[in-house]
Amino acid sequence: MRLILCTLSLLLFSTLVRAAETGETKVAQWNDDKRAPFILMFDDSMQGHVKTVLPELKRRNLVGTFYINAGSGHYKAQKAAWEKAFTEAGMVLANHTFTHKGAADVADLEQEIVKCNEVLYAIAEANGQPKPTLLSFGRPGVPQGKWNVTEEELKTQLRKYNLVLRQNVLFAQIHLKDAAAMIARVEKALASGKTDVVAFHGVGGEWLSIDTPSFLQLLDFIVEKRDQLWVTDPISIHKYETERESASVRTLEATKSQITLELTTNADAAIYDSPLTLITHVPADWKTVQVTQGKHTASVIAKEGKVVFDARPGKDTVVLKNR
Protein backbone atom coordinates (compact mmCIF):
# COMPACT_ATOMS: atom_id res chain seq x y z
CA MET A 1 0.00 0.00 0.00
CA ARG A 2 2.81 2.36 0.91
CA LEU A 3 4.52 1.61 -2.42
CA ILE A 4 1.34 2.46 -4.32
CA LEU A 5 0.98 5.76 -2.46
CA CYS A 6 4.58 6.68 -3.18
CA THR A 7 4.12 5.87 -6.86
CA LEU A 8 0.98 7.98 -7.05
CA SER A 9 2.76 10.85 -5.32
CA LEU A 10 5.61 10.72 -7.80
CA LEU A 11 3.21 10.68 -10.71
CA LEU A 12 1.34 13.67 -9.29
CA PHE A 13 4.59 15.56 -8.67
CA SER A 14 5.86 14.89 -12.20
CA THR A 15 2.59 16.21 -13.61
CA LEU A 16 2.82 19.40 -11.56
CA VAL A 17 6.41 20.07 -12.60
CA ARG A 18 5.84 19.25 -16.27
CA ALA A 19 8.81 20.11 -18.41
CA ALA A 20 8.17 23.14 -20.59
CA GLU A 21 7.49 22.36 -24.23
CA THR A 22 9.62 23.64 -27.07
CA GLY A 23 8.31 27.03 -28.16
CA GLU A 24 6.58 27.77 -24.86
CA THR A 25 7.05 31.52 -24.34
CA LYS A 26 6.24 34.14 -21.73
CA VAL A 27 6.70 37.89 -21.50
CA ALA A 28 9.31 38.83 -18.89
CA GLN A 29 8.14 40.98 -16.00
CA TRP A 30 10.77 43.58 -16.87
CA ASN A 31 13.07 44.42 -19.73
CA ASP A 32 15.92 41.95 -20.26
CA ASP A 33 14.34 39.78 -17.52
CA LYS A 34 15.85 42.01 -14.82
CA ARG A 35 14.67 41.71 -11.24
CA ALA A 36 13.50 45.32 -10.90
CA PRO A 37 13.63 48.75 -12.56
CA PHE A 38 15.41 51.67 -10.94
CA ILE A 39 15.36 55.36 -11.88
CA LEU A 40 17.78 58.21 -11.15
CA MET A 41 15.97 61.56 -11.45
CA PHE A 42 17.40 65.08 -11.44
CA ASP A 43 15.30 68.25 -11.13
CA ASP A 44 15.73 71.91 -12.09
CA SER A 45 18.45 71.67 -14.80
CA MET A 46 21.24 72.71 -12.44
CA GLN A 47 24.80 73.48 -13.46
CA GLY A 48 26.02 70.67 -11.22
CA HIS A 49 24.08 68.22 -13.36
CA VAL A 50 26.25 69.28 -16.27
CA LYS A 51 29.58 69.51 -14.45
CA THR A 52 29.31 66.56 -12.02
CA VAL A 53 26.34 64.29 -12.65
CA LEU A 54 26.62 63.81 -16.41
CA PRO A 55 30.33 62.83 -16.40
CA GLU A 56 29.82 60.37 -13.52
CA LEU A 57 26.82 58.72 -15.17
CA LYS A 58 28.72 58.45 -18.46
CA ARG A 59 31.73 56.96 -16.69
CA ARG A 60 29.53 54.16 -15.35
CA ASN A 61 27.29 53.80 -18.42
CA LEU A 62 24.18 54.68 -16.39
CA VAL A 63 21.03 56.49 -17.48
CA GLY A 64 19.53 59.48 -15.71
CA THR A 65 16.26 61.35 -16.27
CA PHE A 66 16.60 65.14 -16.12
CA TYR A 67 13.53 67.32 -15.53
CA ILE A 68 14.40 70.60 -17.20
CA ASN A 69 13.09 74.17 -16.96
CA ALA A 70 14.08 75.40 -20.40
CA GLY A 71 13.09 79.00 -19.68
CA SER A 72 15.13 79.36 -16.50
CA GLY A 73 18.44 81.15 -16.13
CA HIS A 74 20.28 78.08 -14.85
CA TYR A 75 19.19 76.13 -17.97
CA LYS A 76 20.25 78.94 -20.29
CA ALA A 77 23.66 79.11 -18.59
CA GLN A 78 24.40 75.58 -19.89
CA LYS A 79 22.04 75.57 -22.88
CA ALA A 80 24.52 74.04 -25.32
CA ALA A 81 25.21 71.10 -23.01
CA TRP A 82 21.53 70.46 -22.29
CA GLU A 83 20.67 70.47 -25.96
CA LYS A 84 23.45 68.17 -27.14
CA ALA A 85 25.72 66.51 -24.57
CA PHE A 86 22.94 64.91 -22.52
CA THR A 87 21.18 63.37 -25.52
CA GLU A 88 24.49 62.20 -27.02
CA ALA A 89 25.25 60.44 -23.73
CA GLY A 90 21.92 58.59 -23.78
CA MET A 91 20.28 60.60 -21.01
CA VAL A 92 16.55 61.29 -20.96
CA LEU A 93 15.10 64.80 -20.73
CA ALA A 94 11.68 65.44 -19.20
CA ASN A 95 9.21 68.30 -18.64
CA HIS A 96 9.41 70.23 -15.36
CA THR A 97 7.53 73.24 -16.77
CA PHE A 98 9.21 76.02 -18.71
CA THR A 99 10.10 78.37 -15.84
CA HIS A 100 9.42 76.53 -12.54
CA LYS A 101 7.38 79.55 -11.41
CA GLY A 102 4.10 77.69 -10.96
CA ALA A 103 0.76 78.05 -12.70
CA ALA A 104 -1.44 81.09 -12.13
CA ASP A 105 -4.33 79.37 -13.90
CA VAL A 106 -5.01 76.68 -16.52
CA ALA A 107 -3.97 78.91 -19.42
CA ASP A 108 -0.66 79.63 -17.68
CA LEU A 109 -0.12 75.91 -16.99
CA GLU A 110 -0.76 75.11 -20.64
CA GLN A 111 1.88 77.62 -21.74
CA GLU A 112 4.39 76.26 -19.22
CA ILE A 113 3.82 72.74 -20.51
CA VAL A 114 3.74 73.54 -24.21
CA LYS A 115 6.89 75.71 -24.20
CA CYS A 116 8.90 73.04 -22.41
CA ASN A 117 7.56 70.31 -24.71
CA GLU A 118 8.56 72.36 -27.74
CA VAL A 119 12.15 72.57 -26.48
CA LEU A 120 12.24 68.83 -25.79
CA TYR A 121 10.91 68.02 -29.27
CA ALA A 122 13.42 70.40 -30.86
CA ILE A 123 16.30 68.77 -28.97
CA ALA A 124 15.23 65.33 -30.18
CA GLU A 125 15.00 66.53 -33.78
CA ALA A 126 18.36 68.33 -33.66
CA ASN A 127 19.99 65.14 -32.43
CA GLY A 128 18.45 62.94 -35.11
CA GLN A 129 15.98 61.24 -32.80
CA PRO A 130 12.28 60.63 -33.47
CA LYS A 131 9.76 62.84 -31.75
CA PRO A 132 8.93 61.25 -28.38
CA THR A 133 5.44 59.76 -28.27
CA LEU A 134 5.27 60.39 -24.51
CA LEU A 135 7.21 62.58 -22.08
CA SER A 136 7.50 62.40 -18.33
CA PHE A 137 6.21 65.37 -16.35
CA GLY A 138 7.41 66.37 -12.89
CA ARG A 139 5.28 68.95 -11.11
CA PRO A 140 7.58 71.69 -9.75
CA GLY A 141 7.64 72.55 -6.08
CA VAL A 142 6.56 76.19 -5.75
CA PRO A 143 5.51 78.45 -2.86
CA GLN A 144 1.96 78.31 -1.59
CA GLY A 145 -0.37 80.27 -3.82
CA LYS A 146 1.75 79.83 -6.95
CA TRP A 147 0.02 76.64 -8.15
CA ASN A 148 -3.60 77.48 -8.88
CA VAL A 149 -4.89 74.52 -10.87
CA THR A 150 -6.77 71.48 -9.63
CA GLU A 151 -5.58 67.89 -9.98
CA GLU A 152 -8.23 67.27 -12.62
CA GLU A 153 -7.21 70.36 -14.58
CA LEU A 154 -3.59 69.17 -14.47
CA LYS A 155 -4.54 65.67 -15.65
CA THR A 156 -6.52 67.14 -18.55
CA GLN A 157 -3.53 69.16 -19.75
CA LEU A 158 -1.16 66.22 -19.38
CA ARG A 159 -3.42 63.98 -21.46
CA LYS A 160 -3.74 66.71 -24.09
CA TYR A 161 0.02 67.01 -24.52
CA ASN A 162 1.08 63.34 -24.15
CA LEU A 163 2.65 63.73 -20.74
CA VAL A 164 2.79 61.12 -18.00
CA LEU A 165 2.73 62.46 -14.44
CA ARG A 166 5.64 61.48 -12.24
CA GLN A 167 4.39 59.96 -9.01
CA ASN A 168 5.62 61.12 -5.60
CA VAL A 169 9.30 60.32 -5.18
CA LEU A 170 11.89 60.50 -2.41
CA PHE A 171 14.61 63.12 -2.79
CA ALA A 172 18.21 62.97 -1.69
CA GLN A 173 18.94 65.43 1.13
CA ILE A 174 15.21 66.10 1.77
CA HIS A 175 14.16 62.52 2.54
CA LEU A 176 17.32 60.47 2.02
CA LYS A 177 20.12 62.05 4.01
CA ASP A 178 23.11 59.88 3.10
CA ALA A 179 24.44 57.09 0.91
CA ALA A 180 23.03 54.35 3.15
CA ALA A 181 19.50 55.74 2.85
CA MET A 182 19.77 56.00 -0.95
CA ILE A 183 21.26 52.53 -1.31
CA ALA A 184 18.38 51.18 0.77
CA ARG A 185 16.00 52.24 -2.03
CA VAL A 186 17.94 50.10 -4.48
CA GLU A 187 17.79 47.16 -2.09
CA LYS A 188 14.05 47.71 -1.67
CA ALA A 189 13.53 47.54 -5.43
CA LEU A 190 15.50 44.30 -5.66
CA ALA A 191 13.59 42.75 -2.76
CA SER A 192 10.16 43.73 -4.08
CA GLY A 193 10.71 43.42 -7.82
CA LYS A 194 9.03 46.81 -8.21
CA THR A 195 10.18 50.19 -9.51
CA ASP A 196 11.96 52.51 -7.13
CA VAL A 197 13.56 55.93 -7.50
CA VAL A 198 16.08 58.30 -5.98
CA ALA A 199 15.54 61.90 -7.07
CA PHE A 200 18.01 64.78 -6.74
CA HIS A 201 18.20 68.53 -6.83
CA GLY A 202 21.80 69.60 -6.24
CA VAL A 203 24.77 67.23 -6.21
CA GLY A 204 27.87 68.64 -4.57
CA GLY A 205 26.44 72.18 -4.48
CA GLU A 206 23.56 74.52 -5.30
CA TRP A 207 20.22 73.99 -3.56
CA LEU A 208 18.93 71.00 -1.59
CA SER A 209 22.24 69.32 -2.34
CA ILE A 210 23.55 65.89 -1.43
CA ASP A 211 27.33 65.58 -1.08
CA THR A 212 29.24 64.17 -4.03
CA PRO A 213 30.85 61.20 -2.18
CA SER A 214 27.40 59.92 -1.14
CA PHE A 215 26.14 60.31 -4.70
CA LEU A 216 29.10 58.33 -6.06
CA GLN A 217 28.60 55.58 -3.47
CA LEU A 218 25.05 55.17 -4.73
CA LEU A 219 26.17 54.99 -8.36
CA ASP A 220 28.86 52.43 -7.56
CA PHE A 221 26.34 50.27 -5.69
CA ILE A 222 23.99 50.39 -8.68
CA VAL A 223 26.85 49.29 -10.92
CA GLU A 224 27.49 46.33 -8.59
CA LYS A 225 23.85 45.28 -9.00
CA ARG A 226 23.66 46.05 -12.72
CA ASP A 227 23.01 42.42 -13.67
CA GLN A 228 19.78 42.52 -11.60
CA LEU A 229 18.64 46.11 -12.23
CA TRP A 230 17.02 47.73 -15.22
CA VAL A 231 18.36 51.28 -14.80
CA THR A 232 16.09 53.30 -17.02
CA ASP A 233 13.62 56.19 -17.25
CA PRO A 234 9.93 56.60 -16.28
CA ILE A 235 8.52 56.50 -19.80
CA SER A 236 10.35 53.29 -20.71
CA ILE A 237 8.85 51.65 -17.63
CA HIS A 238 5.38 53.06 -18.33
CA LYS A 239 5.45 51.80 -21.91
CA TYR A 240 6.73 48.36 -20.93
CA GLU A 241 4.08 47.92 -18.23
CA THR A 242 1.27 49.13 -20.49
CA GLU A 243 2.24 46.80 -23.33
CA ARG A 244 2.91 43.86 -21.02
CA GLU A 245 -0.49 44.06 -19.33
CA SER A 246 -2.35 43.13 -22.51
CA ALA A 247 0.40 41.19 -24.31
CA SER A 248 -0.28 37.80 -25.83
CA VAL A 249 2.23 35.34 -27.30
CA ARG A 250 1.16 32.50 -29.59
CA THR A 251 3.42 29.70 -30.76
CA LEU A 252 2.64 29.25 -34.45
CA GLU A 253 5.32 26.64 -35.10
CA ALA A 254 7.72 24.64 -32.91
CA THR A 255 10.04 22.06 -34.49
CA LYS A 256 13.56 20.84 -33.85
CA SER A 257 14.90 23.46 -36.26
CA GLN A 258 12.56 26.45 -36.03
CA ILE A 259 10.14 28.23 -33.69
CA THR A 260 7.71 30.88 -34.93
CA LEU A 261 5.92 33.22 -32.54
CA GLU A 262 3.26 35.90 -32.77
CA LEU A 263 3.39 38.75 -30.23
CA THR A 264 0.46 41.15 -29.88
CA THR A 265 -0.79 43.76 -27.42
CA ASN A 266 -3.87 45.95 -27.14
CA ALA A 267 -1.82 49.08 -26.44
CA ASP A 268 -1.97 51.89 -29.01
CA ALA A 269 0.99 51.17 -31.29
CA ALA A 270 1.27 54.83 -32.29
CA ILE A 271 2.24 55.67 -28.69
CA TYR A 272 3.41 52.43 -27.14
CA ASP A 273 6.24 51.49 -29.46
CA SER A 274 8.75 49.74 -27.19
CA PRO A 275 9.93 46.13 -27.42
CA LEU A 276 9.01 43.52 -24.84
CA THR A 277 11.39 40.87 -23.53
CA LEU A 278 10.36 37.30 -24.29
CA ILE A 279 11.61 34.07 -22.70
CA THR A 280 11.26 31.05 -25.00
CA HIS A 281 12.04 27.39 -24.35
CA VAL A 282 14.16 25.87 -27.12
CA PRO A 283 15.47 22.33 -27.79
CA ALA A 284 18.28 21.30 -25.44
CA ASP A 285 20.83 21.09 -28.26
CA TRP A 286 20.32 24.70 -29.36
CA LYS A 287 23.31 26.80 -28.30
CA THR A 288 23.24 29.98 -30.40
CA VAL A 289 19.85 31.12 -31.64
CA GLN A 290 19.13 33.44 -34.54
CA VAL A 291 16.12 35.64 -33.74
CA THR A 292 14.49 37.41 -36.70
CA GLN A 293 11.54 39.80 -36.72
CA GLY A 294 10.91 41.67 -39.94
CA LYS A 295 14.20 43.21 -41.06
CA HIS A 296 15.86 42.81 -37.65
CA THR A 297 18.07 39.84 -36.78
CA ALA A 298 20.02 39.11 -33.60
CA SER A 299 22.05 36.21 -32.23
CA VAL A 300 21.22 35.07 -28.70
CA ILE A 301 22.94 32.47 -26.52
CA ALA A 302 20.66 29.75 -25.17
CA LYS A 303 21.05 28.97 -21.47
CA GLU A 304 19.44 26.00 -19.73
CA GLY A 305 17.14 25.43 -22.69
CA LYS A 306 15.86 29.03 -22.83
CA VAL A 307 16.58 32.20 -24.78
CA VAL A 308 15.84 35.75 -23.63
CA PHE A 309 15.35 38.35 -26.36
CA ASP A 310 13.42 41.49 -27.31
CA ALA A 311 10.55 41.61 -29.79
CA ARG A 312 8.07 44.29 -30.82
CA PRO A 313 4.35 43.60 -30.66
CA GLY A 314 2.78 43.88 -34.10
CA LYS A 315 2.28 42.27 -37.47
CA ASP A 316 5.76 40.75 -37.92
CA THR A 317 6.16 37.24 -36.56
CA VAL A 318 9.28 36.25 -34.60
CA VAL A 319 11.34 33.37 -36.01
CA LEU A 320 13.92 31.50 -33.92
CA LYS A 321 16.42 29.14 -35.58
CA ASN A 322 19.31 27.09 -34.28
CA ARG A 323 22.63 28.24 -35.71
Give the CATH number of the domain where residue 47 resides: 3.20.20.370
Pairing of strands 276-281, 306-311: antiparallel
Helix extents (H) in the chain: 2-16, 47-48, 54-60, 73-77, 79-80, 86-88, 106-126, 151-160, 179-192, 212-224, 234-245
217 & 131 share domain: yes
**Residue 107 confidence (pLDDT):** 98
What whole-number distance in Å separates Cα of residue 92 and Cα of residue 36? 19
**Residue 2 confidence (pLDDT):** 52
**Residue 315 confidence (pLDDT):** 81
Amino acid type, 256: K
Inside any domain, residue 7: no
What whole-number distance in Å separates Cα of residue 72 and Cα of residue 78? 11
Q: Pick from 227, 254, 288: which residue ends a domain?
A: 227
User: If we measure between CA atoms, which residue out of 207, 217, 266, 179 comes closest to residue 44?
Assistant: 207
Using the CB atoms, write b or e for 100-120: b if 16+ within 10 Å. bbbbeeeebbbebbebbbebb
What whole-number distance in Å separates Cα of residue 152 and Cα of residue 154? 5
Task: Give the number of domains in the chain.
Answer: 2
24 & 55 share domain: no
Inside any domain, residue 12: no
317 & 266 share domain: yes
Residues of the chain with pLDDT under 50: 3-17
214 & 271 share domain: no
98 & 221 share domain: yes
What whole-number distance in Å separates Cα of residue 162 and Cα of residue 131? 12
DSSP code, position 32: G
Inside any domain, residue 4: no
254 & 210 share domain: no
pLDDT digits (tens, 9 = 90+) for 119-165: 999 999 999 999 999 999 999 999 999 999 999 999 999 999 999 99
78 & 171 share domain: yes
256 & 217 share domain: no
Q: Is the sign of the CA dihedral 291, 277, 56, 42 positive or negative?
A: positive
Inside any domain, residue 6: no
Q: Pick from 227, 260, 281: which residue ends a domain?
A: 227
Inside any domain, residue 130: yes
49 & 137 share domain: yes
Inside any domain, residue 2: no
User: If we measure between CA atoms, which residue out of 71, 74, 53, 51 comes closest to residue 62?
Assistant: 53
**Residue 312 confidence (pLDDT):** 96
Domain residue limits at 316: 19-30+246-322
266 & 208 share domain: no
Question: Pseudo-torsion of CA 101, 104, 109, 110, nearest 10°?
Answer: -130
What whole-number distance in Å separates Cα of residue 214 and Cα of residue 94? 25
259 & 162 share domain: no
- Angle (CA) 223-83-276 rounded to 5° is 50
Give the CATH number of the domain where residue 279 resides: 2.60.40
Inside any domain, residue 239: no
**Residue 5 confidence (pLDDT):** 44
Inside any domain, residue 25: yes
Contact 36, 240 (CB under 8 A): no
Cα-flanking dihedrals φ and ψ of residue 241, to 5°?
A: -60, -45
Q: Which residues pair with 262 in a beta bridge?
A: 250
Burial class (CB in 10 A: 0-12, 13-18, 19+), 314: middle
**Residue 20 confidence (pLDDT):** 77
pLDDT digits (tens, 9 = 90+) for 66-75: 999 999 999 9
Q: What is the tally of helices (H) and strands (E) in the chain?
A: 11, 15
124 & 186 share domain: yes
User: DSSP 3-state assignment of 34?
Assistant: coil
Contact 98, 71 (CB under 8 A): yes
Q: Pick from 194, 227, 260: which residue ends a domain?
A: 227
pTM, rounded to two decimals: 0.92
What whole-number distance in Å separates Cα of residue 259 and Cα of residue 280? 9
